[in-house]
Chains A and B, each alone.
Chain A
Amino acid sequence: MTPTVTETSGIQIRQLHKSYGSLDVLSGLDLTLPAGHIYGLVGPNGAGKTTLMSTICNHTFPSGGTILVDGENPAENAGVLERMCFIHEDQPYNDVFSVASILHVMPNFYPDWDAALAQRLVARFQVPVERRARKLSRGQKSAFAIVISLASRAAYTFLDEPYLGLDPTAREIFYEELMTDFGAHPRTIIMSTHLIDEAAALMEEVIVLHEGEIVLQADVDDARSSAYVARGLADEVRAFAQGRDVIAQRTLGRILSATIRGQVTPGDEDKASANRISLEPVSLQDLIAALGIHTLTNALTTENR
């Protein structure tokens, strides 16, 4: 399968609303995802990650707004939906069937299904093929879902927290197989995760969702260079941070670590070292945690902005 990339290829979302009863999960979300990249979807529990993916995949209907996949509305559109594979955090399978029989019927759902890849991955993850899906352990269920997502070769693959119960060895296998297969068969992969630093190297772009809104969409390296940490004696760090955009701070005794939005200039470095302040890079995970807290604080103090 060679995906043809055109100006309409990819996902375009405009003013997407989704509410469950009186609960607004997504409130006017805009998102453009060009095809052929790996996107990391991150944010706290309840931010709307699963809802966003379910809505794009037409597992649930939007309350308002438009979604276009390769220029078409995916809602009950078989031509679009067969290009999508969505692996839920807790993927339900029809429990009377064995792993082998589920794999056997998969080509009916995914036109680009690669049976040889599925066989190889099942063996590598040591998923017992004769066992009923219901009887698989938590980790085996996750591994099996990963096998399906990779072997589907779907043009749009959605992975919602794909590695519950997977041990570090199995996660490393997953990362390696994902990169290998993506390299050979480029496609669009959207993966939600809480293991941000561990998965950061896999992503080209990170999308931070917070309370149903996108608070950051950026290249991973650009995101990390969008903030830094100033660490030193509390008074000196406070003086240094004066007039800067501080998005998080933590203290340890007399030491204050402030996460500051912006880029370090050579002048900053001189000023910092003269005041025994060290300027350090921020991890993606710390940045995202800081943004989450920052957004909340901002919401409470919007009159200042």
Chain B
Amino acid sequence: MAFANDRPIFLELADTIAADVLAGLYPEESQVPSTTELAAHYRINPATAGKALNTLVDAGIVYKKRGLGMFVATGAPEALRRERRAELHTHYIAPLLTEAKRLGLTPADVVDLITKDPS
């Protein structure tokens, strides 16, 4: 993974781990990589990796088991799914409609494209 240059790295990394939790790569109650492992793997400062994990702790996605490491909270994938559904409009629908408008397409045209989408 290459980090996009437009957001702080710790947020990008927190999003990546959250996406992996959502996709089931880290199941509930499984361990996520440590600060040191993340730092070495992504070649980032351990403080940045720590900030990413703390962001996920604050969001209730992972929790710390003293002396053992960080683990995925029970219910985290469902919570992420709920959160991302709520953000679907801001992150995808609104930009899609803005672009459609720029191209001279109505929302009905967009709906048409969506229903005809082969995937």
Contact = CB atoms under 8 A, between A and B. Distances in A.
Given A184-B36, A221-B10, A179 B43 contact: yes
A97 interface: no
A176 interface: yes
Contacts of A203: 45
Q: Tell me if B's interface is mostly helix, strand, loop or mixed.
A: helix
A283 interface: yes
A202 B45 contact: yes
A235 interface: no
Contacts of A221: 8-10
Given A197-B5, A281-B5, A283-B5, A179 B10 contact: no
Interface string A199-240: 001111000000000000000010011000000000000000
A175 interface: yes
B36 A201 contact: no
A183 interface: yes
B46 interface: yes
Contact of A280 (B6, B40, B43, B46): B6
B6 to A, nearest CB: 4
Given A176-B40, A201-B3, A183 B46 contact: yes
B56 to A, nearest CB: 17
A42 interface: no
Most buried by A among B10, B35, B43: B43
Given A176-B40, A201-B3, A182 B46 contact: yes
Nearest to A175: B43
B43 A202 contact: yes
Contact of A172 (B7, B43, B47, B48): B43
A201 B46 contact: no
Most buried by B among A175, A180, A283: A180
Contact of B46 (A179, A224, A281): A179
A204 B50 CA distance: 12
Interface string B62-94: 000000000000000000000000000000000
A280 to B, nearest CB: 7
Contacts of B44: 179, 201-202
B40 A201 contact: no
B8 A179 contact: no
A258 interface: no
Nearest to B41: A176
A25 B45 CA distance: 31
Contacts of A183: 35-36, 39-40, 46
A38 interface: yes
B47 to A, nearest CB: 5
A286 to B, nearest CB: 10
Nearest to B6: A281
Contacts of B43: 172, 175-176, 179, 201-202
A280 B7 CA distance: 10
A117 to B, nearest CB: 14
A283 B6 CA distance: 8
Given A201-B45, A203-B45, A179 B39 contact: yes
Interface string A159-198: 0000000000000100110011011101000000000010
A224 B9 CA distance: 11
Most buried by B among A38, A197, A201, A221: A201
Contacts of B35: 183
Interface string B6-44: 111110000000000000000000000001100111111
Given A183-B35, A201-B44, 7 more contacts: A176-B41, A180-B40, A182-B46, A201-B43, A204-B45, A225-B8, A281-B7
14 contacts: A37-B47, A179-B39, A179-B44, A180-B39, A182-B39, A182-B46, A183-B36, A197-B5, A201-B48, A202-B45, A221-B8, A281-B5, A281-B7, A283-B5
